[in-house]
Structure 1
Amino acid sequence: MGQDPITLIVSLVGGIFSFLLLMRFALQLSQADYYNPISQSVVRVTQPIVSPLQRIIRPRGRFDLATLIVALAVKAIAILVLVQFSPLFASAGGSINPLHVLIFSLTGVLNTLLTIYFWATLGAVIISWVAPDSYHPAPQLLLQLTEPLFALARKVIPPIGGLDLSPILIFLLIQIVQSYLKPFVVI
């Protein structure tokens, strides 16, 4: 609550836009339904900023490097703006190490991607209990987003007597990785 308004706005806008870019990346990576209304909205919002770089760096199959680079740039710009308004920046002499900005941006992007998969996995688990055959676009998108991750985890822990323990493995791995990233995450 003790943040100044500029820091709060930059964190919020940078966080939301990088979230949308990484959501687009994750949806394409998992080959989620492109014609899902939620997918269409994410693409429509992020297309103006991603399309110039996609002309240079074309997506290769499911992997869209251009979207990932733009998400990294958004994180880096948000970090640079936050550092400029930080009182510690003025007292440190006003120099910014580009390597630190790159490291904080990379860890921020990875942390956001892991957070997306954490909540998507939790949502998919709840949907599988409550409404497993729902035709609503949101549950379908969550299941499409998490199914490749579940399939990978099922290779390590196969279902036991009809009980799928793969979400537990996914939650555990995400929490372990995020605990190591925590000191480096700015936004």
Structure 2
Amino acid sequence: MLFQMVSLVLDVVAGLVAGTCLLRFLMQWQRISFHQPLGQFVFAVTDWLVLPLRRVIPPWSAWDLSSLVGAFLIKLLQYTLLWLVAGGQGALALLPLVGLVGMAQLVVSALSALVLVLAVMSWVNPGSPMYSLAARLSQPFLKPFQRVVPLIGGVDLSPVALLVVLQLIGMVLASLQMGWMH
């Protein structure tokens, strides 16, 4: 029971910090202003990690690699602590792969949540600033699906197609991670 409790706390804390690092990466990639409440939150949660990493990891084109590395390091720390709580069972050498898969799972979950927020906001309040932000953040992921999935009766089903693909990817990642951890 102790392991499950520690796992839950680490999952919440690591998910918040690593997820915010990934949001920072996405906001910079999409050139979304940080001069709004969400941007200020992102800076407050991630500056302590990302700014020191920037001294050694330069950006690559429009990609803020220090934010990506920060997210990976948080997930790696999470799984290392879980490995220690479990008594060091399993191969220590696999922890970087487990951390990478954990980060990919976080991306899938966060993107799924973003697409759901976008869909709900499109029905409830498509003129709101939150809808605009969600649309800009999700656009690079929806665009390939919008090219393939036709409008049906004026309804864009590309978010549904993206969600199905994300769920399939999530299943594969969970299977990989479970195989490595046992």
Q: Does 1:149 align with 2:151?
A: no
Q: Supply the AA of the counterpart residue of 1:150.
A: L
Residues 158 and 33 from structure 1, CA distance in 2 versus in 1: closer, same or farther, beyond 3 angstroms? farther
Match of 2:106 in 1: 112
Structure 2 letter corresponding to 1:65: L
Structure 1 residues 42-53: aligned runs within 5 Å: 42-53=42-53
Structure 2: segments with no counterpart, 5+ residues: none
The Cα shift of 1:96 comes to: 4.3
Alpha carbons 2:22, 2:71 under 8 Å: kept:
yes
Q: Equivalent residue for 1:35?
A: 35
SS in 1 for 2:55: helix
The answer to whether residue 141 in structure 2 is matched with residue 171 in structure 1 is no
Structure 1 residues 56 and 3: alpha-carbon distance in aligned structure 2, compared to 1, 3 A threshold: same
CA RMSD between the two structures? 2.1
- Aligned amino acid, residue 113 of structure 1: V
Contact 2:76 2:96 in 1 (8 A): yes
Question: TM-score scaled to structure 1, two decimals?
Answer: 0.84
For structure 1, the 5+ residue unaligned runs are none
Shift of 1:110: 0.7
Distance (whole Å) between structure 1 residues aligned to residue 81 and residue 29 of structure 2: 30
Q: Aligned partners of 1:129, 1:16: CA distance in 2, in Å?
A: 27
Higher relative contact order (CA 8 A, sep 6+): 1
Match of 1:56 in 2: 56
CA contact (8 A) 2:28 2:64 kept: yes
Number of residue pairs the alignment of both structures matches: 177
Matched with 1:180 is 172
Question: 1:97 — aligned with what?
Answer: 92
CA contact (8 A) 1:30 1:145 kept: yes
CA distance in 1 between counterparts of 2:54 and 2:17 reads 18
AA matched with 2:50: V
- CA distance in 1 between partners of 2:42 and 2:13 (Å): 15
The alignment status of 1:131 with 2:121, answered yes or no, reads no
TM-score, scaled relative to structure 2: 0.86
- Percent identity over the alignment is 26
Distance 1:48 1:110 in 2: 22
